[in-house]
Structure 1
C-alpha cells in the first residue's frame, strides 16, 4: 500500500514537471517566433528606456495593424542599427517643429511635445503613405526623424512594437 502511494506521488510530480516543460517550451517558441530582444543604445529614450537596458519587441504587432501615434517602435535605420523611438507623425500627415512645439497638420497634438530644435522638421515635412515621423523621448539628446541619418521611418524599416523591459531585473515591466 505504501509503495502505491509513493508511486502515485511520483506520477503526480512527473505530470506537473511535464506540463511545466510543455508550457515553457511553448512560451519560448512564441517569444522566439514573434518577438526579438534588443538593447537600448544611446540616451534617445531616456528616462523611459535607459542606455543598455534590454527590451522585447513584438514582431507580429504590425502584421495586420499599423503603428499608432505615440507607439514605441523598433526599426532598423539605414546603417543597420536597431533604434527605438516614439511615433509622432503618421502617413499622409504634415509635421513641423517651430518655437519648440511639434505641430501635426498645423495643430499641437493632444499630448504636448516640446522639441529643442526642429532639425529637418523646421520646414514642414509631408509624410508619404508609408512614412512615420519619430522622436526620442529625450528631445535634447535624441537622434530621430529631425536628423538626416534617421529621417522619416518607412514601414519596411519597422521591426515591431516595443512592449516590455527585461533587463535590468529591478526595472522589468511593460513599457508605455
Structure 2
C-alpha cells in the first residue's frame, strides 16, 4: 500500500511541477511580448522586396521606448513616450495608423522632423538632394487576389537606394515609370512627426497619400528579424488543408534574416 501511495504522490507532484513550469513559461513569454519583442506578420506587398507577404518578424519595443501603443489594448494611461529614443532614417518600423489607431502599419522611415521630402520622376529627394538610386535587376513575383481567384506574374524593376547622413542601403521596386506617386508636392515634416514610405513604391499607401505624417507617439517598434516565412500569396501555396505541402511552401532561406 505504501508503494502505491508514494506512486500517487509522485504522480501528483509531477503534474504540479509540470503545471508550474508551463505557468512560468507563459508568464515569461507574456513579459517578453509586452515589454521587449512583439511578433508581427506581413499581410500586404507594400514593403516588397524587403518584406514579403507571409513573413513573420519580431519587432523591438525597446528601440523607441514606450507609448500607450506599445501595450495591448493601448490603455490611455499616459501620453508621449517613456525611455524615448528617436527613430533613425531608414528604420523599418511598425506604427499605429494616425487615422485609425487600432490598425498597425509597417513602412520605412524616410523623413525626419524638419525634413523636406519629395518624389520627382520616381526619384526620392530629401531636403532638395536626390537620394542615390542604382538599378539592380528585375524582380519577378506571382501576385494573387485575397481568394486566389486570379493570379498574374508581375515583373518590377529593382533599384538600390542609399539614404543620406550615413543611412542604410536597401532595395525599392518600381512597377510603372510614371506611377501615381512618382511626382509629388514637397512635404515639410512637422516637429515630432515622421515621413514613412513603402519600398514597393507604386503599391504602397504611405505618407505620400492617405497615411500622412506619423506622430512619434504612434510608433510601436522597429522591425528586427524574420523568424518564419511562408509563400501564402502564391497559387496553391501553404494550404492548411494540405500539410504535406508545407515544407515546400516555407521560405527556409528567409529564416533569421535581419530586416534592413
Please confirm whether the aligned pair reaches a TM-score higher than 0.5, indicating the same fold. yes
C-alpha distance 109-41 of structure 1, shift in aligned 2 (>3 A)? same
Query: Which residue number corresponds to residue 39 of structure 2?
Result: 37
Listed one character per residue, the Cα deviations across residues 90-126 of structure 1 (whole Å, up to 9, x for unaligned) are 1111111112111111012351678754649711111
Higher share of residues assigned helix: 1
1:152 corresponds to 2:216: no
User: TM (normalized to structure 1)?
Assistant: 0.76
- In structure 2, how many angstroms separate the alpha carbons of the residues matched to 1:82 and 1:39? 11
Higher share of residues assigned strand: 2
1:141 corresponds to 2:163: no
- In structure 2, how many angstroms separate the alpha carbons of the residues matched to 1:120 and 1:81? 26
For these two proteins, the number of residue pairs brought into alignment is 153
Q: Please state whether the residue corresponding to 2:40 is helix, strand or coil.
A: strand
Q: Please state whether the residue corresponding to 1:41 is helix, strand or coil.
A: coil
Q: Please state whether the residue corresponding to 1:81 is helix, strand or coil.
A: strand
Instruction: Pick from 66, 84, 89 the counterpart of residue 106 of structure 2.
Output: 84
Unaligned runs of 5+ in 1: 1-20
Query: Which residue number corresponds to residue 73 of structure 1?
Result: 93
Q: Please state whether the residue corresponding to 1:122 is helix, strand or coil.
A: coil
Q: Please state whether the residue corresponding to 1:30 is helix, strand or coil.
A: helix
Q: CA RMSD in A?
A: 2.5
1:51 corresponds to 2:73: no
Q: Where do 4+ consecutive residues of structure 1 move more than 3 Å? A: 24-32, 112-121
